[in-house]
Homo-oligomer: A and B are copies of this chain.
Amino acid sequence: MLLTPVALPHASRLINHGPTVLITTEHQGRRNVMAAAWSMPVEFTPPRIAVVIDKSTFTRELLQASGRFAIGLPPAGLAELTFAVGSESGRDVDKFARHQLVCTPGPVLGLPLVAGCVAWLELRHIPEPHTETAYDTVFGEVVSAQADARVFAQGRWSFRDDNTELHTLHHLGGGNFAVPSRVVRAGSRDKAN
């Protein structure tokens, strides 16, 4: 993994464009990984995000018991894996073993970061019982962020023709993922932001 630290004020940009993510959790020796299409930043500083995780999932159980979770952004080459771990339950099978996932421990919380992803976030859970119950919407604050410098550097994504296999996945439904292969630039007079 070509991990490069991402400054925390830039962490929310990693999911600004709506990618599907892999959520990893671990608690007292039990661990899981699942895919989630529904996530978004809610704040840049402090970097906070919201993600929808069904209350019936093993991930929710581990997340709420441990108070932490990690997010990885799978690129185009991991579409099959992403679809698979979004279709299985970790209660029934150790998905890390089944899919022979290689992981490294996150730098702050030690959570498993899935190799082959192009960005990783570690988050502390911000308990919001009502929102979790009513909308399955879970909030977290980013405490570490890293990215693959070939595709995210100086706080920005760089999707180019020479790194298409590192572009993120955006689930359309039914195992079809859109990949952001083209970049359109607007507001050329105000590009410093």
The 5 closest A-B pairs by CB, nearest first: A18-B18, A178-B180, A175-B187, A83-B186, A17-B170
Taking the full assembly, how many copies of this chain does it contain?
2
Query: Complex: how many Å from CA A172 to CA B176?
Result: 22
Chain B residues with CB under 8 A of A16: 37-38, 171-173
A2-38: contact bitstring with B at CB < 8 Å (1 yes, 0 no)?
0000000000010011110000000000000000011
- Interface hub of A18, A39, A76 (most chain B Cβ within 10 A): A18
A42-83: contact bitstring with B at CB < 8 Å (1 yes, 0 no)?
110000101010000000000000000000000010011011
Chain B residues with CB under 8 A of A184: 76, 79, 169, 176-177, 179
A133 in the interface, Cβ–Cβ < 8 Å? no
Q: A18-B19, A40-B52 are in contact. Are A84 and B187 (CB under 8 A)?
A: yes
Chain B residues with CB under 8 A of A131: 128, 131
| Surface stretch bound by B, among A99-107, A109-117, A134-142 | A134-142
A149 to chain B, nearest CB (A): 16
